[in-house]
Amino acid sequence: MKYYIIAGEASGDLHGSNLMKSIYNEDSNAIIRFWGGDLMQSMGGTLVKHYRDLAFMGFLEVVLNLKTILNNIKFCKSDIDSFQPDIIIFIDYPGFNMRIASWAKQKKIPTHYYISPQIWAWKENRIHAIKRDVDYMYVILPFEKDFYEGKHNFPVNFVGHPLIDAIHSRNKIDKESFILENKLSQKPIIALLPGSRKQEILKMLSGMLSVVKDFPDYQFVIAGAPSQEFSFYEPFLRKENVHFISNRTYDLLSVSHAALVTSGTATLETALFKVPEVVCYKGSWVSYQIAKRIITLKYISLVNLIMDKEVVKELIQNDFNSKNIIMELNKILKGEEREKMLENYSILEKKLGGEGASKKTAHLIVSSIKK
């Protein structure tokens, strides 16, 4: 069978790679063509476009890059036409993927959506397009099944969260070897996860690094995104007690004592590694003002949304400043608040449904084709 997969971000590349591995296990004759990244490419198949050329963050950035986005959509349709897949699998990335889904539906190509657009956060009216254009939806958050089936009468499959697979299946590292290899000191590590896109890294990293001098007993390590060159991070590495490790975020988290994390999938990854964290977010003024008016959620981090309470502190926009970072980081380095956060992390993991998301999804997808 021929599969066309579209993932437009780093997290989609991770989950797409595990899904591809499971599809190959289910269908030994699978031919896969995809938009994604290095992790998906390592599984085989044919990479059409890398996500580093697709990711634009925020309302303003999307408007400024609209011509590029529209050209990518046009090219994608042409590439699918040439490939003639049996099905298309969309992984998150809704602004782009929903446009392709609408076109694919008209072409009568079966559409599978793995990792739902977060329409429970904003743009809930997208449910009409999803009902019309998506044949099969696979959701990864427990409350999404109730949202789709209970509120909107749209059947979905809850498959569990693929991050649990990704984290549990990784090779464990030796902490001392990791420290020596990366020329780190013996001080406890505070990991800095500023995101994967240039725009967000530029906004977040300076603020995170502003508190380094206030924690002399710790070392700060920046988690470099695989999509960015070392030269991009170089200007940030001129402070003492600051280190840089690229493309090894999971290894870094496995040896970290605490973390400052830009809002996104990384907040959940950090929690699943049982690392106490402070969640940070700062967008452009225009993007933030628009988002504030249309997003009505109580929280922005997946940890708090899944738990439906404040488990991790969120420092958003103007609250993301040195004074608040110092105060919140001190709370989770030791003591009662740190222990309470770790207890909540254990409850969180149980809510996510255990291992096997990629395997379950691949089985459902391949079975649908055989039917």
pLDDT in tens, 269-324: 999 999 999 999 987 655 555 555 556 678 989 999 999 999 999 999 899 999 99
pLDDT at 104 (0 to 100): 98
pLDDT in tens, 34-77: 999 999 999 999 999 999 877 555 555 555 667 777 889 999 99
pLDDT at 224 (0 to 100): 96
Segments of the chain scoring below 50 in pLDDT = none
Q: How many CA atoms lie within 13 A of 369 on its CB side?
A: 20
Indicate the pTM of the whole model.
Answer: 0.79
Tokens of 142: 């427990």
Q: What whole-number distance in Å separates Cα of residue 131 and Cα of residue 142?
A: 20
Provide DSSP, 128-176. HHHHHH-SEEEE-SHHHHIIIIIIH----EE---HHHHHHHTSPP--HH
Tokens of 21: 């591995």
Q: How far is CA 162 from the centre of its chain?
A: 11
Contact 274, 292 (CB under 8 A): no
pLDDT at 279 (0 to 100): 97
Contact 112, 87 (CB under 8 A): yes
Laid out side by side, the sheet with 277-281 consists of 242-246, 219-224, 189-193, 258-262, 277-281, 313-316
